[in-house]
Structure 1
Amino acid sequence: MSISHHKKVIYLSASTPARLSIFLLLAASCQVVHAENKSDESIFLDDIPVVLSASRLTQPISEAPVAVTVLDRQMIRDSGAWDLSEIFRLVPGMYVGYHADPNFYSADSTVAYHGMVTSTTSDRMQVLVDGRSVYSGLFGGVNWSDLPVVLDDIERIEVVRGPDSASYGANSYLGVINIITRHPAESQGASASFTYGTGRTEGVFRYGGKTGDLTYQITASERKDTGENDKIHNPTSRNIFWTLNKFDNKNIQIFNFRGDYQASAHDTLEFQFGYNGGSRQAGEYDNFASITRTSNNHFEMVNWRRALEGGGELTIKAFHTEERINARLLDSDGIQNGDASFKRDDLEIQHTFSPSESTRVVWGGSVRQDVTYAPYYLGVEDNTYLFGDFKYRLGRLFSNLEWHVRPDMLLNAGAMWENNSYTGTEFTPRIALNWHVTPEHTIRIGYSRATRSPSVYEKVYEEYWRAPDQYPNLPELKPERVKSIDLGYIGKIGKVDIDFRLFHDNYNDLIDVKNHKSSQSGNLNAGNALMRGYELQIKAPITEKTHLTYGLSGGSVKSDDVNGVIYSGSLPSYNHHLMLTHQLNEEWRSSLIAYQIAKTKLNQTDYNPGQGRGYYIDGNKRFDGKISRRFLFSGRQTEIAFIVQNIANSHYFEYRHDNEVPGRLARINLKMDF
């Protein structure tokens, strides 16, 4: 997908508390009803950001069929984020747990939308990089540290806040994250960046060039991260298990190449290659510890685009992804072979055209094959149930119609037909109506259905439980399902941009295969949950040089909590962030970011009231800050930045009671263009 011919994105997300949310919505309604429309519509529309990810059509955010948060390049820089996963703390409704994975496969962060976390793999959300799915087939979800993406190569990130299987198929169950990297034309010349700080170092080199009709960019980086503190500052128990943090040191090398070749006036060919490798620690005390674990991941992608008459486009995209882990694991039985690999081949064709002046259509299809090899991780019950390669095949057709029913009313209707080798055929539709009450105020109402297919790990467990010596009459595993109703408002009150959303999501057939109670009850899809809540984003210029971004979300989850899987209470009653940025002059810029979240029920395995561990993780708050200066050094553009995360040196838990975030972390970054 290309954005070169679209309006510049200038959107920043934000939000406010429940009472303030209602007040702002009422204020907007009053203004809509009583105010004269004195604004120039064309000028206002120039300020509306264009999004690519909601329906596969390029649309102003006020015409998208679902809520979208855009994290632009400047916002990412102002956040002071170190890991890619940290950026999503700035998305309303998103829960991020620092290095929360406690197992032997990955020491990585959890990124989950609307709670609903029963594992650290965040397997209910689709993640794309330039439209390429990086959703892992083994456990589902994403290993964020294993992605071949450097933060400074990201142009922006679009987060679809709500089910989007109609556009991206199964596993776009709660939402979609699309990471869009910079075009090589935006990064010409050479630059180098060096970071040094508390337990963290990084070096990045980038070069962009142009040869005839070929524009290209090369990025290479290496970072070292010692992760959490070795010992927990405030343990819930003096038992040694609860006084030690996880093994999570990381050494990450990344290499990326992107080339864009303008073959003709109408044809563009894009090549991408990426590599991520290095040694990683994983595991926890008295469970699993990686003695030697290295990652070697790479991908290759080709994307051909042809511009058609009338603004249409035809694209053919093909990519190959390969992830490899080489590990020797230490467990109670001694040293085990923890090698694993995952391969994906995908081919997609997409056609966009306008049948009439009032309609646009995108349609297409794709085929995919995943091959997973992980004998130890799929061993189930002490390696007594081993498999070789696991293959997963997927075919799908999709379409979305955008119809301007009348100048102030837009209808989006889309659907995905999908067939996979695990659960068969699914059809997931979506319909949404956007009413521009005035050019500055839009109301959206939508309904959609979405699914999540079982991961390889879950499929293996199903086969295990259905074995002749277990529960042979156990029903076959089905995909998880959700029906979602969305009511949204997007508008501007004065100079304040507002995005408010109410949601009502009904989840059925939630999968739980590891709990023995699931097989005993005769249903591995026994989970159900009803989630209702709100989200708010606000962008407000306080002065010409000072801007505020605020985000708030909250709600409730009701569930029958069958088989010991407790979904009730998994959505925090509130979760919000505040970012203040100030441009002092052309040289100096600063930002201050605050995060706060209510107590959160995440992982019932920690439950032990006698040792101070209930089902809930206590609420917490944190402050980050950044100050930077740009200047010329020997005629070269240079920037030096000082970043502090967790300024107050708070010691709190995320996800589990043995996952205490680091205290205050400071680092300095120097970047120079050559």
Structure 2
Amino acid sequence: MNRTSKGSPGPRARYFMALSLLLLLGSPLRSSGQEVVDLSIEDLMNINVTSVGKKEQHLSDSTAAVFVITNQDLKRSGVTNIPDALRMVPGLTVSRIDSNKWAVNSRGATSRFADKLLVFIDGRTVYTPFFSGVYWEVQDVMLEDVDRIEVIRGPGATLWGANAVNGVINIITRQASDTVGGVVTVGGGTTEEGFAEARYGAALGKATHGRFYAKGFKRDEFERASGDGAGDDWEMAQGGFRVDTRRTARDSFTFQGDLYDGEINQEVVLPSLAPPYAEIVEDTADVSGGNLLTRWQRVLSSTSDLSLQLIYDVSKREEAFTNEEKENIDVDFQHHFKAGERHDIVWGAGYQRIHDELADTSVLTYSPESRTDDLFSAFLQDEILLSDNRLWLTLGSKVEHNESTGYEVQPSARLLFSPRPNHKLWAAVSRAVRTPSRVERDGEVTLYVVPPLSAENPSPLPVVVTGIGVDDEQSEELIAYEVGYRFMPRPTISVDIAGYYHDYDHLRVTRQGAPEFQGTYIKQPFLLVHEFSSRAYGAELATAWQVTDWLKEDLAYTYLNSNLEEEGQVGREPTHQVSLRSAVDMGKDLELDLWLRYVDDSSAAYAASPDGTYEIDDYLTLDIRLSWSPAPALELSVVGQNLLDERHPEYVMENYGLPTEVPRSVYGKITYRF
């Protein structure tokens, strides 16, 4: 692979900088005065967020590295799924593994089974106890109905609990009263072979609104480096509803639910005791699930409110290397109030019950196969005004009890200083933990087979390498130190800078155990224990510039230095990432959007490689969206993605996967509103 010196930019980097400058200079086309976005830069800085403090506050007043993806951002990006939308966010690494899998994490430790990021949809956790992470391919929502996506980089455990180690993502959909009317979208293209979605919302009473939706898609397979198909085409169908009602001036209720079902094709490499000791299997993962959520909110006064939320969630997944069913019941209570003139307090308590059924497969076994875990939690956070409109101190902690590691205390202290109205400086120190996953506690995984009479195995018998979970009652721990600065040098420009130092302890690693003779083969166990320490530090930049009334630029930059890969559990992260989005209004009814991204070279942990890693070259990619509205109710758009390469690799799954490359693609879409 051709690589350039870290000390000077390579040809792709130089091309990126040149094209970025060209886009920043703008287009000669003028519009009739229509703005690119519905909100001004100042409005965007003051947009209300709820994920940082579990209460409404301006983004600029948040004592955390937070980024908001708006509904307008989603529309103009041309993305068709949540993971690809997250590429806008500085500090996040989003890599496509194949047509139906992603590796997503914040501030390092990215992998298919990333385990340090907590993700919610309307307050419902989409965590799986299988690997303490997220199956991104089944986290689908109708993007038309997403109000915003709030992304916190860094720990959010004080309010959100265990596993919110490197970040929190909260996908928030619109209230039913904001989606009155109908919308139908159909489209298709190369990779996006075909998709359709429909939603209709209406008033159901004087203070009640509801909507229902249905959607489905079929996506084509990606390709190998050889140009052969990767056998990873897939299709999904999903539907759901939401009802919001205000029974009194103080009380409001939300009731919503979703159902999904899909078939996900994949080619996996499974270990075998017969020559050649591994076989490629054409597999189909059958996935399905559903959820129900009900929420009651009461306004007690102008400075006090409370909420009670109940969630029931089920999911099922059956594929070659895992067979799992999960049932989750989640109850959450929260009370927010002001005590005097200086204290703004949020407190709450919760209970979660997770029951799973995990059947054995040829490569993965559990003992016991079924487990029920109960999680109890309580939190308290106080925002203290130290100096009028200048200095605030926020102190808080969450206490949880789980059945693996017992009690966990996750405190934080955050300071906000505002020397001037448009200048906000903040600093934070916090502790967060990740509790052991089901595999770490009870699993035994067959990783690969080393052939007999080989350089790695001179014995006449094959060696079966396994990973064995050890319930050592130890959580992974992070102590995080963060600083940030937000300012607006002028009303049309916003700048958001964050820096951090992460100190990890008790991380999961594998330690070689004693080999065991099994008659026809030798079993070589590697124990999954928590005894690795690591460090990571970096900086993140997000800027927005309304250049003219017809041109807006959004620039995001990520710098990451991590040694999490030293024990070979994860790969080497890209040191530099850059995202530049240009939104151009070319006329009253014509929109042009360009999205340029540069990702530095990296590597992935890959068991099938001789040295355990898979090297990935840096890449530059461009997405273009062109939209035309010939009538107020009709929009026609065409989107080209990954246009600068015929195809390129972004990541590879750690075990059982084959390297796959992301192809250039084009699709068209028709949207009709009524």
TM-score by length of 2: 0.82
Rate the CA distance shift 1:588–1:521 in 2: closer, same or farther, 3 A: closer
Aligned length: 592
Query: CA separation in 2, counterparts of 1:167 and 1:109?
Result: 27
CA shift at 1:477, angstroms?
Answer: 3.8
SS of structure 2 residue aligned to 1:74: helix
Shift of 1:357: 2.2
Q: Say if 1:650 and 1:441 are closer, same or farther in 2 by CA, change over 3 A.
A: farther
Which of 488, 494, 498 lines up with 2:495 in the alignment? 498
2:508 corresponds to which residue?
Answer: 511
Q: 2:240 aligns with which of 253, 256, 276?
A: 256
Superposed, 1:137-152 pairs within 5 Å as 137-152=129-144
Distance 1:387 1:47 in 2: 50
- Pairwise CA distance, 1:566: 5.9
CA contact (8 A) 2:498 2:541 kept: yes
> Aligned-pair distance for 1:571?
3.2
Tell me which residue corresponds to 1:68. 66
**Are 2:366 and 1:374 equivalent residues in the alignment?**
no
Q: Give SS of 2:439's match.
A: helix
- Aligned-partner residue type, residue 313 of structure 1: D
Q: Partner of 1:135: helix, strand, or coil?
A: coil
RMSD (CA atoms): 2.8
1:381-400 to 2 correspondences below 5 Å: 383=365, 386-400=367-381
List per-residue Cα deviations over 1:201-249 (Å, max 9, x = no partner). 10101100112122001110110011312x3247xxxxxxxxx664422
State yes or no: 1:116 paired with 2:99: no
Task: Indicate the residue corresponding to 2:422 in structure 1.
Answer: 440
CA, structure 1 residues 288+54, in 2 after alignment: closer, same or farther (shift >3 Å)?
farther
Q: Which residue pairs with 2:477 in the alignment?
A: 481
Percent identity over the alignment is: 22
Aligned runs of 1:150-161 on 2, under 5 Å?
150-161=142-153
Structure 1 counterpart of 2:544: 539
Unaligned runs of 5+ in 2: 1-16, 18-40, 270-277, 447-465, 516-523
1:88-127 correspondence to structure 2 within 5 Å: 88-100=86-98, 107-117=100-110, 119-127=111-119
Describe the shift of the 1:390–1:629 C-alpha distance in structure 2 as closer, same or farther (beyond 3 A).
same
Which residue of 2 is the match for residue 590 of structure 1?
592
Note the alpha carbon deviations across 1:314-345, whole angstroms, 9 max, x for none: 10000010001245x4x9xxxxxx54211100
CA distance in 1, matches of 2:384, 2:47: 20
The CA deviation at 1:516 is 5.5
* Cross-structure match for 2:255: 271
- On the 8 A contact 1:643/1:667 being kept in 2, the answer is yes
From 595, 601, 606, give the equivalent of 1:599: 601
Q: Show the counterpart of 1:301.
A: 293
Say whether the 8 Å CA contact 1:606–1:656 is kept in structure 2.
no
Letter in 2 for 1:268: S
Write the distance in 1 (CA, Å) between the matches of 2:284 and 2:98: 20
d(CA) in 2 for partners of 1:665, 1:559: 34
Choose which of 178, 186, 204 in structure 2 pairs with 1:186: 178
Give the deviation of 1:287 after TM superposition: 4.7
Task: Letter of the 2:406 partner, please give it.
Answer: G
Superposition deviation, residue 549 in structure 1: 0.2
- Take 1:661 and 1:619, find their aligned partners in 2: how far apart are those partners? 13
1:404 is aligned to 385
Separation (CA, whole Å) in 2 of partners of 1:423 and 1:149: 34
Structure 1 residue ranges, 4+ long, deviating more than 4 angstroms after superposition = 43-47, 285-288, 470-475, 513-523
SS of equivalent residue, structure 1 residue 87: helix
1:43-82 matches, cutoff 5 A: 48-82=46-80
Which range moves more in the overlay, 58-67 or 203-212?
58-67
Match of 1:35 in 2: none
Aligned to 2:335: 351
How far residue 145 of structure 1 moved from its aligned partner, in angstroms, is 2.0
Distance 2:364 2:130 in 1: 18
Q: Which residue of 1 aligns with 2:667?
A: 667
Counterpart-to-counterpart distance in 2, 1:69 and 1:471:
37
- Aligned equivalent of 1:220: 214
Deviation at 1:77, TM superposition (A): 1.1
Q: Tell me how far apart the structure 2 counterparts of residues 587 and 559 of structure 1 sit (CA, whole Å).
A: 49
Are 1:477 and 1:524, in contact at CA under 8 Å, matched by a contact in 2?
A: no
DSSP-derived class of the 1:248 partner:
coil
Q: Is the 8 A contact 2:367 2:442 kept in 1?
A: no
Q: How far apart in 1 are the matches of 2:177 and 2:485?
A: 36
Residues 140-165 of structure 1, C-alpha deviations (whole Å, 9 max, x = no match)? 21112212412222111000011111
Q: CA deviation at 1:174?
A: 0.3
Query: Which residue of structure 2 lines up, in the alignment, with residue 10 of structure 1?
Result: none
TM-score by length of 1: 0.82
Structure 1: segments with no counterpart, 5+ residues: 1-18, 20-42, 102-106, 235-243, 332-337, 465-469
Who is 2:395 aligned against?
Answer: 413
User: Secondary structure at the residue paired with 1:77?
Assistant: helix
CA distance in 1, matches of 2:565, 2:673: 58
Deviations 1:17-62, CA, capped at 9 Å, x for gaps:
xx9xxxxxxxxxxxxxxxxxxxxxxx96895222110121211122
Out of 172, 176, 184, the residue aligned to residue 164 of structure 2 is 172
Report if aligned partners of 1:531, 1:556 keep a CA contact under 8 Å in 2: yes
Cα shift at 1:475:
7.4
Counterpart in the other structure of 2:31: none
Contact 2:108 2:560 in 1 (8 A): no
Secondary structure, counterpart of 2:60 in structure 1: helix
Give the C-alpha shift of residue 386 in structure 1. Answer: 4.8
| CA deviation string 1:111-149 (max 9, x = no partner) | 1112213x4122210000111111111122111221241
Shift of 1:500: 0.4
Name the residue aligned to 1:40: none
